[in-house]
Chain A
Amino acid sequence: MMDIAAIVESLKAQPGALLPMLHAIQDQLGHVPAAAVPLIATALNRSEAEIHGAIGAYHHFRREPGGGTTLRICRGEACQARGADAVANHARDRLGCDFHQTTADGTITLEPVFCLGLCASGPAVLVDEAGLHAGVTPAGLDALIHAARGQT
């Protein structure tokens, strides 16, 4: 709780502070817990409903903890044209879960993403916040999954 309160306090003076706060909280905790909402609402002089409404409008923010690693597979048209559907299907099979879900062992959350700006070299995958991969084949995806589970 200290964490959230400190983050909210440190950012509340910024113009349009909501988005920076939500990012800082999720970066710190891996998600935006419900307990953050009243703190943010008070600091920004908004209703809790407004804050809930804003959070829900963004695909990036998560209200429940995810898996240890988030695997975002690009679903954009340019990656589709380069075989991304096969990679997406392979991911669902291998992980035993669908998009927006976490594997049974809690290690990986599978998310769709609409374009990573790697559209000439897809299929593209983003691992957590900054691990960019292009030209990902089903076998390449297996390697990313192994790495995420700490296997080699």
Chain B
Amino acid sequence: MTITVYIPADSAAIAQGADRVAAALTAEAGRRGVAIRLIRNGSRGMFWLEPLVEVVTAAGRIGFGPVAAGDVPALFDADFLNGGGHRLNLGVVDDLPWLCRQDRLTFARVGITDPLSPDDYLAHGGLAGLRAALGADIVQTVIDSGLRGRGGAAFPTGIKWRTTRDAAAAQKYVVCNADEGDSGTFADRLLMEGDPFLLLEGMAIAGLAVGASEGFIYIRSEYPRAFEVMNQAVTIATGLGWLGDDVLGAGRAFRVRVRKGAGSYVCGEETALLESLEGNRPVVRAKPPLPAISGLFGQPTIVNNVVTLATVPVILARGAECYREFGTGRSRGTLALQLAGNVRHGGLMEKAFGLTLAELIDDFGGGTASGRPLRAVQVGGPLGAYLPPSLLDTPLDYEAFAARGATLGHGGVVVFDGGVDMARQARFAMEFCAIESCGKCTPCRIGSTRGVEIIDRIVADKDAGRIALLRELCEVMQGASLCAMGGMTPIPVLSALEHFAEDFQS
């Protein structure tokens, strides 16, 4: 009997040798005359176990990891194809604590299916959301679900869609923001590589909801595999009539084009992204007008993050009520947390809002990778706050973070141990802003450069007197920048000053 074996083709797995393992496995099976069916799935999001090889057995999918190509002959000797004992045997993958304690709604299929197999997609509930959407009040359902944008600003998705739906125009657009520039985040990438049809389904629902027939996915150039997979998925989905001139035979058109960014953090800001898509120099636009009313090529446009759009099919398929039941306060549903940096067990963890940072880092992450005590955690990307161990009791929800001057952003959580120098991290925040500023407004463009200089003086001259000047500069940047690039760069700087003052006095 042919045994089915899964090896992820996710970027993180490939970067850790998955292609070499797949080649070694195929060769060894051939040498031994064993018939296997090799499927390249997405990643389950347990990056410390990649490459994670899974074997389908009567007991379930048994995992082995992390596997190196050199382990392959020994795995065959141990009869791993029948779940045999071996030091890398992890048991049934679905039963691993990391996975079975999650609330996987949006990422339910990622790592399980063959990402580009339409049959697999349908067999695992694919298109149920789009089918349900055809007869539904989509905008109201999304409003009722409580879904807020997962790209960072957390704006209620249904409200944005209502604005675009109610705007009169011959042409409207759906733009998927797959620029995912924040360090410490990879949820968009994991989803696009692991379940691309889900994103397309979400975009088609968005198109139906607002009356848009054209969609664009803007993927950063640093994600070559996601770009490749999404392009293939669009071709397949269009060929099957899931997208195109007559979506599912319902008489509505929705076409999708995939575009590649070119290495610019600020292109993740929605108006700069639209300028980039239009072929202009990517600088931020003043708002209003909102993109929802005047967006791409001046037409009503919804811009949403990958995870936001990919969550919509789940809401339509299961109902707004079911989705709202997850979460806490005004943070409804699940959050795709990305545990990264100096952490033992890093990866993607989808969970209802409300878990604390400590629970995430200790229970899921297993503490620091170095084994040294944790010193700081940066949440929400380069524009997010650095939090000390005393604040790890903060629940992961939008309001709790805002109350502590922090932001959840896109859900990235980066762990640092005692080796970190927080004055350097503050300097990096300013330097990053200086490198990536679009240059349109002065506080961001010039302020960030002055910020680097002031921090250098504080550190070099041991001149703590300049700290007041740094705070003043941060105030100007926060108050007078055109967008959150300059407006939020002070957050990591001020949080470093507040919680790690000793590093500025060395």
Q: Which residues does A use to contact B, with CB under 8 Å? A: 15-20, 22-23, 44, 50, 53-54, 56-61, 76-82, 113-122, 124, 126, 129-130, 132-135
A79-B183, A119-B186 known; 8 new pairs, CB 8 Å cut-off, are A16-B279, A50-B281, A58-B264, A76-B184, A114-B436, A121-B48, A121-B50, A134-B15
Q: Determine if A57 and B225 form an interchain contact, defined as CB atoms under 8 angstroms apart.
A: no
Chain B residues closer than 8 Å to A76, beta-carbon distance: 183-184, 382
Can you identify 12 A-B contacts, CB atoms within 8 angstroms? A16-B278, A58-B262, A79-B183, A81-B341, A82-B341, A115-B184, A117-B186, A117-B223, A118-B186, A120-B339, A120-B341, A124-B15
Q: Determine if A118 and B432 form an interchain contact, defined as CB atoms under 8 angstroms apart.
A: no
CA distance in complex: A137, B184 (Å):
19
B390 within 8 Å of A (CB atoms): no
The residue of chain B having its C-beta at the shortest distance from the C-beta of A128 within the complex is: B224
Min CB distance, A48 to chain B, in Å?
13
Given contacts A23-B260, A61-B262, contact A118 B12 (CB under 8 A): yes
Q: Determine if A120 and B428 form an interchain contact, defined as CB atoms under 8 angstroms apart.
A: no
Stretch of B34-42, B111-119, B409-417, B462-470 with 4 or more beta carbons under 8 angstroms from chain A = B409-417
Q: Determine if B346 and A130 form an interchain contact, defined as CB atoms under 8 angstroms apart.
A: no
CA distance in complex: A77, B414 (Å):
7
Q: Determine if B259 and A19 form an interchain contact, defined as CB atoms under 8 angstroms apart.
A: yes
CA distance in complex: A115, B264 (Å):
11
Q: Determine if A60 and B183 form an interchain contact, defined as CB atoms under 8 angstroms apart.
A: no
The residue of chain A having its C-beta at the shortest distance from the C-beta of B189 within the complex is: A117
Chain B residues closer than 8 Å to A134, beta-carbon distance: 12, 15-16
The residue of chain A having its C-beta at the shortest distance from the C-beta of B228 within the complex is: A130
Q: Determine if A130 and B414 form an interchain contact, defined as CB atoms under 8 angstroms apart.
A: no
Min CB distance, A135 to chain B, in Å?
7
Query: What's the count of A-B pairs with C-beta under 8 Å?
Result: 160
Given contacts A78-B341, A117-B11, contact A57 B281 (CB under 8 A): yes
CA distance in complex: A116, B220 (Å):
10
CA distance in complex: A77, B415 (Å):
9
B197 within 8 Å of A (CB atoms): no
The dominant DSSP class at the B interface is: mixed
Min CB distance, A17 to chain B, in Å?
6
Q: Determine if A17 and B414 form an interchain contact, defined as CB atoms under 8 angstroms apart.
A: no
Q: Determine if B260 and A19 form an interchain contact, defined as CB atoms under 8 angstroms apart.
A: yes
CA distance in complex: A113, B184 (Å):
13
Chain B residues closer than 8 Å to A116, beta-carbon distance: 11, 15, 222-223
Q: Determine if A132 and B341 form an interchain contact, defined as CB atoms under 8 angstroms apart.
A: no
The residue that A78 contacts in the complex, of B184, B223, B225, B283, with Cβ under 8 A, is B184
Min CB distance, B406 to chain A, in Å?
15
**Residue with the highest number of chain B CB atoms closer than 10 Å, among A22, A61, A78, A134:** A78
Chain A residues closer than 8 Å to B412, beta-carbon distance: 78, 119
The residue of chain B having its C-beta at the shortest distance from the C-beta of A112 within the complex is: B435
Chain A residues closer than 8 Å to B382, beta-carbon distance: 76-77, 114
Q: Determine if A117 and B414 form an interchain contact, defined as CB atoms under 8 angstroms apart.
A: no
B495 within 8 Å of A (CB atoms): no
Given contacts A59-B264, A77-B184, contact A16 B339 (CB under 8 A): no
CA distance in complex: A118, B50 (Å):
12
CA distance in complex: A53, B439 (Å):
12
Q: Which residues does B use to contact A, with CB under 8 Å? A: 11-12, 14-16, 47-48, 50, 180-186, 189-190, 221-225, 259-265, 276-283, 297, 338-343, 346-347, 369, 378, 382, 412, 414-417, 420, 425, 428, 432, 436, 438
The residue that B222 contacts in the complex, of A44, A117, A121, A133, with Cβ under 8 A, is A117
The residue that A115 contacts in the complex, of B183, B190, B297, B342, with Cβ under 8 A, is B183
CA distance in complex: A19, B275 (Å):
11
Chain B residues closer than 8 Å to A130, beta-carbon distance: 224-225
CA distance in complex: A17, B260 (Å):
11
CA distance in complex: A16, B223 (Å):
21
CA distance in complex: A44, B224 (Å):
27
The residue that B282 contacts in the complex, of A57, A78, A114, with Cβ under 8 A, is A57
Given contacts A22-B262, A117-B185, A133-B15, contact A53 B281 (CB under 8 A): yes
Given contacts A78-B341, A81-B416, contact A57 B264 (CB under 8 A): yes
Min CB distance, A127 to chain B, in Å?
11
Min CB distance, A115 to chain B, in Å?
4
Chain B residues closer than 8 Å to A22, beta-carbon distance: 262
Chain A residues closer than 8 Å to B280, beta-carbon distance: 18, 50, 54
Q: Determine if A117 and B12 form an interchain contact, defined as CB atoms under 8 angstroms apart.
A: yes
The residue of chain B having its C-beta at the shortest distance from the C-beta of A72 within the complex is: B222
CA distance in complex: A15, B301 (Å):
15
The residue that A121 contacts in the complex, of B16, B184, B224, with Cβ under 8 A, is B16
The residue of chain B having its C-beta at the shortest distance from the C-beta of A130 within the complex is: B224
CA distance in complex: A104, B165 (Å):
57
Min CB distance, A26 to chain B, in Å?
9
Q: Determine if A120 and B12 form an interchain contact, defined as CB atoms under 8 angstroms apart.
A: yes
CA distance in complex: A58, B259 (Å):
15
Q: Determine if B346 and A19 form an interchain contact, defined as CB atoms under 8 angstroms apart.
A: no
Chain A residues closer than 8 Å to B283, beta-carbon distance: 57
Q: Determine if A117 and B346 form an interchain contact, defined as CB atoms under 8 angstroms apart.
A: no
Min CB distance, A27 to chain B, in Å?
10
Chain B residues closer than 8 Å to A44, beta-carbon distance: 279
CA distance in complex: A21, B276 (Å):
13
**Residue with the highest number of chain A CB atoms closer than 10 Å, among B184, B282, B378, B425:** B184
The residue of chain B having its C-beta at the shortest distance from the C-beta of A14 within the complex is: B257
Q: Determine if B281 and A77 form an interchain contact, defined as CB atoms under 8 angstroms apart.
A: no
The residue that B378 contacts in the complex, of A56, A77, A132, with Cβ under 8 A, is A77
Given contacts A117-B11, A119-B412, A120-B47, contact A60 B221 (CB under 8 A): yes
CA distance in complex: A41, B178 (Å):
28
Q: Determine if B279 and A19 form an interchain contact, defined as CB atoms under 8 angstroms apart.
A: yes
CA distance in complex: A117, B188 (Å):
9
